[in-house]
Structure 1
């Protein structure tokens, strides 16, 4: 009996190198995440204030935690097993519900958003625990229950309050959720989780990171098309120009991210005995880049809908701030993966900051032309001046 149980459990658990490609079910989950990103950008566009931006940030961090833990689940558990298929489908539905109520999460739908998030996270842990019985060799489900259980009171109490109080309590909940992973899911009585509890395939992780960037770029393209269709009554030269500029900007952002980064990202994730450290670092880098592209898509919407309108500071903040934040994330990503900093990127960030007083005096279309095809395009054309050398033995910088 013991041998049969061990074999049954082995079928449910993966080795760290077992999965190198995404499953179709994971890609299906990403389609739901596209809708969530669309809702986030639409909510930010409707609330371009400091308070609105902070609220969207909290909601975005919550959704990102759902996505990243789904990625790690695919690394450890066999997603062809019926229990895990049902778990992932349930997570997809929960993400869909969260996305649907997201625009009113800080108004009337707070309890639905918070409750669904907890149901997804705690439900995942329950399924993992039950699926591994009677030999739950790893302690992952117990650790997840501890940390998401700790975030439950601020989530629920916050949903029952309003305004600043809700924002503060939900901030505490989000901090607790992220703190758990940073502390290696430390749990009283169990200590920190050993790396053996969280094995992952560098190839799978790298592919999932690349895919999420492509997905959020796709969301930006979706925003362009839907904005053009819903705001133009006919063929308008200004809107066609805006559509051209925003699409060119999207292509440049894709090029800056993808240029020779894939192979080296796998090497970086596989280097060293403790893979947690590089995985966490790339998690944060991609989180920044994903949200920056989402912010940039809000700038696309403004540019297409109001190409010649009188500018506003909030509009310039997303038109210029989104690409600047993307370059910041990509600069750190490049330093981690390649071991050096591409000098034009921090220079471009400084130029974007210096141009802000000028951009706020010109129409959105002109501001987008300066920020997108002109400034970002130069990062592809100019020589790649490198600051520092590769820190990994035998590694040669491959490009930008």
Structure 2
């Protein structure tokens, strides 16, 4: 137990040339978001319309944002301290309410979703603000963040009270405020804006946290594949669909983790401005990666349920858009950390686009197999072209 916890502030003690590892309580906190990601994918499957897609996007943006903001806070605060742990446990309670509200977030549970979200965003930021000594530069930064989240919270709660178009408009406005905040340096009148240099990010920890969320999303995909396959009749074609879905998840893991995750951790740890790289590469550019995995999980469930016949619109869109979002996200992420675009990823994106006019003439299984082979090809191309030397994990 750390001595004199109450006598000092709750900020992490930075040690030169030492990477702050992710703590067990952070991993425990993440369990809530395993459920949240599953809820989002099931919401899309149950509301596969243009309106449903917009609603799913709102939910996905909200879930990612509340998680990544918590990762920023635990990058600054020390989760090994009791008060920080209690704060995370409180966030878990609100997060579970948030997750269970997702299926009816645009119906009877809109206010519950909004209140849980605002409680997490505002409560966490208020805790960081008022537990940080006034002499520490981060306190002013926490106050700026809190100010923005209080304003966006008004829109969240107002949208939760209303329904229909008004609810969607207010929640989109709330998201616009929250996603603009980091770019604007959380500008507050008379106080000004912070800079990324003010954020003192521990890069290795941030990289590890986001990599773990990718694992959460891939884990949700595996769970959906396994649960669906367990509940259907086992035939040769259903087994082939199962293999395609599983290999697709493995290919996504390979593309992200074989080289990209190590390069990202190394570059942000060595960066002279890790806050800027964390804001771009990990706060914004990881969103399409996660969204791609979630949409692909929806595709896998549909393909496993109905692998034969001609692919319908739902199957075509999810089977192509999921891998496409994933590759675009990883491409931009690796460009942010490497400085150039990966030819293998651009080729994979081109192949997926080329499959679009052919998709209506393919069965769901063949379309799934084509996208899986595309992902495998991207991973193999990158591995061969860059080689093992590019994978230098941070010690």
Please report the TM-score for the alignment, with normalisation by the length of structure 1: 0.89
338-347 vs 291-300, which moves further: 338-347
- 2:279 aligns with 280
Deviations 1:247-273 (A, max 9, x none): 011111111111222332123213443
Q: In 2, are the aligned partners of 1:319 and 1:368 still within 8 Å (CA)?
A: yes
- How big is the alpha-carbon RMSD for the aligned residues of Structure 1 and Structure 2? 2.5
- 2:97 aligns with 97
Is the partner of 1:357 in helix, strand or coil? coil
187-196 vs 217-226, which moves further: 187-196
Q: In 1, are the aligned partners of 2:299 and 2:319 still within 8 Å (CA)?
A: yes
Map 1:11-22 onto structure 2 (within 5 A): 12-15=11-14, 20-22=20-22
- 1:148 aligns with 149
CA distance in 2, matches of 1:281, 1:86: 30
Q: In 2, are the aligned partners of 1:151 and 1:177 still within 8 Å (CA)?
A: yes
Is the partner of 1:260 in helix, strand or coil? helix
Please report the TM-score for the alignment, with normalisation by the length of structure 2: 0.90
CA distance in 2, matches of 1:272, 1:291: 27
Deviations 1:143-172 (A, max 9, x none): 232111111222122122221221111000
Is the partner of 1:98 in helix, strand or coil? helix
- 1:380 aligns with 379
Deviations 1:49-100 (A, max 9, x none): 2211111111111111111111111111111222211111111111111110
CA distance in 1, matches of 2:89, 2:363: 45
Give the 3 Å change call, closer, same or farther, for CA 205–92 of structure 1 in structure 2.
same
- 2:229 aligns with 228
Unmatched runs of 5 consecutive residues or more in structure 2: none
CA distance in 2, matches of 1:83, 1:189: 32
Does residue 250 (structure 1) correspond to residue 249 (structure 2)? The answer is: yes
- 1:392 aligns with none
Q: In 2, are the aligned partners of 1:16 and 1:201 still within 8 Å (CA)?
A: no
Q: In 2, are the aligned partners of 1:16 and 1:76 still within 8 Å (CA)?
A: no
Does residue 182 (structure 1) correspond to residue 178 (structure 2)? The answer is: no
- 1:139 aligns with 140
Aligned length: 385
**What displacement does 1:126 show?**
2.5
**What displacement does 1:383 show?**
6.9
Deviations 1:277-306 (A, max 9, x none): 211111222111011100011010011111
- 2:7 aligns with 8
Deviations 1:129-150 (A, max 9, x none): 3433676652234223211111
Q: In 2, are the aligned partners of 1:308 and 1:363 still within 8 Å (CA)?
A: yes
Deviations 1:325-356 (A, max 9, x none): 11111111222222322213212212211211
- 1:36 aligns with 36
Q: In 2, are the aligned partners of 1:139 and 1:197 still within 8 Å (CA)?
A: no
Does residue 215 (structure 1) correspond to residue 216 (structure 2)? The answer is: yes
Give the 3 Å change call, closer, same or farther, for CA 50–136 of structure 1 in structure 2.
same
Deviations 1:190-241 (A, max 9, x none): 21124465222111111112111111111100110111223x1x42322221
Q: In 2, are the aligned partners of 1:125 and 1:145 still within 8 Å (CA)?
A: yes
Q: In 2, are the aligned partners of 1:15 and 1:199 still within 8 Å (CA)?
A: no
Give the 3 Å change call, closer, same or farther, for CA 38–11 of structure 1 in structure 2.
closer
Give the 3 Å change call, closer, same or farther, for CA 105–219 of structure 1 in structure 2.
same
Q: In 1, are the aligned partners of 2:35 and 2:99 still within 8 Å (CA)?
A: yes
**What displacement does 1:13 show?**
4.4
